[in-house]
Homo-oligomer: A and B are copies of this chain.
Amino acid sequence: MSSEPPPAASSATGAEELSADLSAATLSKKQQKKDARKAEKAEKAAQRQQQQQQPVDAEDPFAANYGDVPVEEIQSKVISGRSWTQIGDLDDSAAGRSVLIRGAAQAFRPVSKKMAFVVLRQRMSTVQCVLVASADAGVSTQMVRFATALSKESIVDVEGVVSLPKEPLKATTQQVEIQVRKIYCINRAIPTLPINLEDAARSEADFEKAELAGEKLVRVGQDTRLNYRAIDLRTPSNQAVFRIQCQVENKFREFLLSKDFVGIHTPKLISGSSEGGAAVFKLLYNGQPACLAQSPQLYKQMAICGGFERVFEVGPVFRAENSNTHRHLCEFVGLDAEMEIKEHYFEVCDIIDGLFVSIFKHLTENCKKELETINRQYPFEPLKYLDKTLKLTYEEGIQMLKEAGTEIEPMGDLNTEAEKKLGRLVREKYVNSTALLCFTNLYFDNNFLCYL
């Protein structure tokens, strides 16, 4: 892994943890460790200083404009006050401006001794950095060599001037280049990483195109991805997926808070199974049998009974199921809501309807970049929905299925297949619409409605 994990940010519960940790540890042991680390660091620093005193190339007048930054230099030595630009923010409007960026070196394209390209990546964005040896720019051939000899995924600082390329850039997300003036390596990655980020970010279309051209591209298998998750997380599509997840939660919370819901956190370690009982994780709590909550159901209902009227929870749910379908997971993040009903369960339908539409809208309007990023690697059809959700009664739904040749018992539940089919029928009949299927009988339970 290329970047040394930065020191941990203290959490809001930090003060609590902190003192617990402190009181538990014996001071002298910690002190001994610290002293040992201090001595070790001092020795290393001395070695490094010696190395630095032997410049990379004594004849290079621009030696100060590039090089490896010793670890001591970046560990809270100075507050330079320099301003960092996010790679994703670089656009035409920045042309001519001098910027400072930090990113992972994703690709190197040496052109000649005097010229090279380095692609830096930050989050979902990449930018092309151009090195051209020139005394005016303070760039030497040694500096070009230094840049192209860096290992992939090394963390690199670049200072340079933003310029507009003559032709659109295909290999990077940002449509500007950086004319490099200074380049420093903050942390070198090991020369050969288990995953090449460019490989990990390719789409099926890329592979097909390469095959047609007689090229053979490397595929990164799922095992490799999972074994080196921290590297795989760096692909633009993974960056986008996590950001969209975060936005879904934000909008879920925002919408429900605006409807007077209270966010709660219910116990996960409980004394019995939440439901069924078969697929529950069991453990010992202080010698007594305990279970992991398969659902916050009971506690949500207690909250309603306790006078909260409307509550929601975002948190882990545990089910000891064999995770062998994409609908079964032993651990997942549940977005749960519970509300009292004043008169009619349509009140719940309205909340759910408004919730989904507001999430759809938010993603469509505010996560364009993330959706495009995922679409590049994993093409998908854009989400279609209507501002006003179609509502079907259960009978209408059953009738639509019947007309299409699927018989369901009049008051029976829909199985997965029928549910999917009904979704397709709704989409065909009502043109790109989503629908809420409402049961009209009074004997509903948890499964009383579904969003198609």
Contact = CB atoms under 8 A, between A and B. Distances in A.
A30 B307 CA distance: 31
Interface stretch (A107-115, A214-222, A225-233, A361-369): A225-233
A56 interface: no
A41 B444 CA distance: 13
A104 interface: yes
The residue among A9, A15, A80, A252 with the most chain B CB atoms within 10 A of its own CB is A9
Contacts of A1: 305
Contacts of A281: 269, 283-285
The majority secondary structure among interface residues of chain A is mixed
Given A19-B327, A77-B344, A308-B123, A338 B411 contact: no
A426 B309 CA distance: 42
A245 B305 CA distance: 19
A180 B46 CA distance: 85
Copies in the complex: 2
Interface in A30-73: 30-31, 34, 37-38, 41, 72
Interface in A227-262: 229-234, 238-239, 242-243, 245-246, 248-250, 252-253, 257, 262
A7 B80 contact: no
A443 interface: yes
Contacts of A451: 10, 14-15
- Size bracket, chain A contacts: 35 or more
Interface of A: 1, 3, 5-23, 25, 27, 30-31, 34, 37-38, 41, 72, 74-80, 82, 84, 102, 104, 121-123, 229-234, 238-239, 242-243, 245-246, 248-250, 252-253, 257, 262-265, 267-269, 281-286, 292, 297, 300-309, 314-318, 320, 322, 327-328, 330-346, 348, 351-352, 355-356, 359, 409, 411-416, 419, 442-451
16 contacts: A3-B340, A7-B445, A11-B335, A12-B248, A12-B252, A18-B447, A23-B416, A30-B413, A76-B341, A76-B346, A231-B306, A233-B307, A242-B303, A245-B264, A267-B331, A268-B268
